[in-house]
Amino acid sequence: MDISAITNQMIILFLLLLVGYAANKLNWMDVSFNKTFSGFIINVTTPALILHSVMEGEKVLSLWEILLLLAASLISYALVILLSMAAPKLLKMGPQDGDTFRLMIIFSNTAFMGFPVVAALMGTEALFYAAIFNMPFNFLMYTYGVRLLSGGKIKGFDRKTLLSPCTGCPPADNRPQMPS
C-alpha cells in the first residue's frame, strides 16, 4: 500500500475543505448555493465518477460476483449495527445521544471521502467495487439511520427516500433544527 498516495489524497481533500470553509466565511456561498452544489456533487459528479470507473475497467463483474459483494456489504453492516448497540451502554449515554453516536459508528462517510482514496490507492477500476459495496449504505442510512435520528418516531418506509437524499426528514422534537 502506497502511503504517499493516501497522504496526497487526504491533503487534497483537506485543501478543498479549507477552500469551502473560506468561501463560506467570506459569504461567497449561501444556503441556496450549498444545497445546489451538494445536489450537483451527489447527483452528477459521483455517478459520473462511478461510470468512468466502469468504462475504464477491463474486468466485467458477473452477476454472481456483484451479488457476493453486496452480501459481504450487508453482512458488514449487520455486524457493525450489532456492535454499535454496545457502545452507548459502555459509554453510559442516554437514548438520544446513544442513537446519534450509533449512527456515527454505523454510517461513516465512505463515498465522498472514501471514493477518492480508493481511486488513488487502487485505481479508478476499483471504484466500481466500492460503489457496489456502498449500495446498502444508501438504503440503510435513509431507512434505519433516519429511524435512529428520530428516536424511533419515524417507523414507516417511503420509497422516495431511495431516490433522493433525505433532506426533508423531520428532526426529532428535542433536537435543534437545521436553518432553511
Q: Give, in order, the Cα–Cα distances in Å from 43 to each of 78, 150, 163.
A: 27, 25, 10
Res 177: pLDDT: 44
Res 168: pLDDT: 39
Q: What gap in Å lies between CA 72 and CA 129, rounded to an integer?
A: 12
Res 161: pLDDT: 58
Res 92: pLDDT: 87
Residues of the chain with pLDDT under 50: 165-180
Res 72: pLDDT: 94
Res 118: pLDDT: 83
Cell of 32: 441556496
The H or E element containing residue 173 is none
Res 159: pLDDT: 65
Res 173: pLDDT: 41
The rounded radius of gyration (Å) of the Cα atoms in the chain is 18
Res 76: pLDDT: 94
Query: 148 φ, ψ to 5°?
Result: -60, -45
Residues in the chain: 180
Burial class for 115, CB neighbours closer than 10 Å (0-12, 13-18, 19+): buried
Distance from the first to the final alpha carbon of the chain:
43
